[in-house]
Structure 1
Amino acid sequence: MNWGGCSTACIEQGDFSGLDDLYTEKPEVVDGLAEVFGSWITRFKFDGFRIDTARHVDKDFYNRWIPQILAAAKSAGIDDFEIFGETWITEPIEQSKYQRVWGLPNQLDFPLFDVIARYAGGTQGAGGVMLRLEDDDYSRMSDGRAPTPGTFIGNHDTGRTAMMIKAQSGAEGDELLARVNLGHSLLYLLRGAPVIYYGDEFGMIGIGGDKEARHDLFATQVSAWQTQERVGSAPIGAGSSFDVKNHPVGQHLRELAALRKQWPVLWRGATLPRDRNDGAMAISRFDMADQREYVTIFNNSTESRLLEFATSTPSATFTAVWGGVESTNSDADGFVSVEVPPLSAAILRAEAKFPLAKQPPVVSAAPDDFSELWLLSAETSESPQEVSFLIDNGTGWRRVAVDDSFPYRAFVDPNALPTGSTSRIVAVSRFADGTLVPSGIATFTNTK
């Protein structure tokens, strides 16, 4: 496999670093792999699989293999078996095809990894993070699940979180610790499932990826590792990391985990990027069950920043429930002002429920400007809601996707529709009280 210029066929069929490629085009190979890995689930009751090098099979493999794996999990009494793949692609639209077309249920979020490391390091503003969150719409599927990719900053291939952030910022000492904690705050306070690489909780930095990022946690005999710099503490020397108590990075991670447990909106709530100002940003999260708005706030600057933005909850107190910001009040139009301390993160919680403006959506279709897909859009009220998009191309109505935040969108692969065929589309808004409000029916012709 030529990593410098590998074609699609090379990626799917090439020998990976000397490992022979499996003939996954053959049904007996697929069935054999399903039998082997299904038996692991039966015997050991795994909760899920992380699929390494997930794009190095033929594109039909997952649509044949995964149903057998999920059936094995269900037979073993595991109804919510998780599968996510390692597809090392930092372009979100390109990565999304492995879910839309290939059939992977979930992926590691390499596009967000790329921008979070830069943001926490201070070399990229908030716009990159906010745009990446908006790109989630490309990964919304007909099952209605909100995107919950595995989010991370460092790993065994790229190098550790602290090393990635230090490479961006050149920071040392207290500033590096603050930036590492900011990076982890992004992982835990944004959508997705945070993945922390072992040793990060003890401040390990490392000097590279692969073998340079596989330090011992026990007392090490590798002299270079004994003297390597750590963030938040001195080099380990001849000691064991397991003897390190209350490391500041580990403490911060425990605090963030407790926040996600206390406020489920942080892991299940809809996401709406609000405002950014020179390194600071505000992102609303919506708890539809409680009809409550939360705002997560971040600042990667070494100076305080002022954010002024609209919320969905007018004339309400927004209480600071975590972090260094002050509580604030929204005006009659929902606008708030927040002073954000340097290198920090915070959470605000509205003390009033957001209002429900139950306006019928208006649905339309157009070619997407950034891909080969058809873009379905719904214009509706600013009230938080979930919008389901459905299509009928003559074979009955089927759901395309569910979008839970503005802009409300879904994407249709033109290859799934006959060229020249006309399809009907409709959008249905679901509000926090369960009310369903449909649009009228629109049509479009597949000219692609």
Structure 2
Amino acid sequence: MENGSIVLLMTFVFLFLGFIGVPVPFAILAGVLLGTMCTDVSFASIIGQLFEGVNSTALLAIPFFMLAGELLASTNVSQRIVDLAESLVGHIRGGLAQVVTLFSMLFAGISGSSNADVAAISRVLLPSMKTAGYDPARSAALVAAASTIANMIPPSIMAIVYGATGGVSISALFIGGIIPGVLIGIGLMIYNYFFGSIGTTQKHFTWAQRGVALKRSLLPMMIPILILGGILGGFFTPTEAGMAAVMYTIFVVIPLVVRGHFKLLPADFMRAAVLYSLPLMAVASASAFAWMVAYLQGPQVISGWIENVAGTNAIIIMLLLVVALIIVGNFIDAVPAIVIFMPIIAGLVQLGDINPVQMGVIAIVTLAFGLITPPYGLSLLLAANFAEVPFSRALWRAIPIYVVFLVVILLMVIFPDITLFLPRHFLPQSVGCFPNPRGEGFICPS
């Protein structure tokens, strides 16, 4: 068989098995094994690629951030962050819908996972929203959309996987995602104000009450400051920042807030381990898939197609890649999609002379958007289950929210500073800047 036919066969088998309900890692691996049978590649080589895919120190950051988020969610410390968000924006038109968005932006700096965000929001806010008269389907759509911010604002599991597989600075991807994440949050709050479901009006908090809420949330809210401050100050790598977040939670937050939770720590560790196994299995199988696609020269073929359409125009290349990733995100989870398409993305970055950090953040935001689009839409599916509404109803309510994501993605493509402004100021060498030979500061390419 020709190389192109083998790649199409692998892709078809993977998508078909995934569509009928086979777990994503096994569906991917089935496609890889079938492709291997059509080539002279040995099965031993594929086993080696499975191991190589997860043999990365950078990926160790994922379980630590997952564990930190699980600890805060299971101890109900996240309620204090909800109270802070409610004191700040609960009185604005949209009330609890505004609280959902702000809480997601705050909690995103701890968990790094959309699934953790959905669970945390749903446990605390969905019952209150239902009682206050909010449309459950619209609430589920908003919770799902807001949870995607966890993939943009650091620490982001997607950024860790992208950086580890693509050789891009994870720290730069972390801070490069802050402005896009905030823009998504602001866009959702504007949507809530003008078009969202309006329930019971929330009370207006005094500044004294806001001060009390801030004081109660101070301990958990120190975690994002610890993570970002440690990374930007050069004290931590992302993996070490995850370890520091877990240690701070166990030895500072829990003793001072919920001391009785210590006996439940083994269960928290086991849940975090189970959650970690899911992206780890996906990364392993997707790495083998990506290696087979690269072996069959798939990236060169796809890059050639895009070059014929876009030439070397960076904006057109990014727009075409965004369209491709939106389609891919409709069918594949973001983590394996990143690993599988990394060789193609790397080739297009070179073709259009695109900054790797800019392309990385755009890819992350686009694939996060796929978490609320059909037929996959994992975050939307989880939120609909928590809200006890049909997926179709939640999907119908989510469609207007798509405009927020598409506008932000388009702005990121047209204006590189949305993703590169913070990295250029805090980690200039990670985005291609070099020391100024004439004195202090750095010179950054335009």
TM-score > 0.5, shorter chain as reference: no
Higher relative contact order (CA 8 A, sep 6+): 2
Larger radius of gyration: 1
Greater strand content: 1
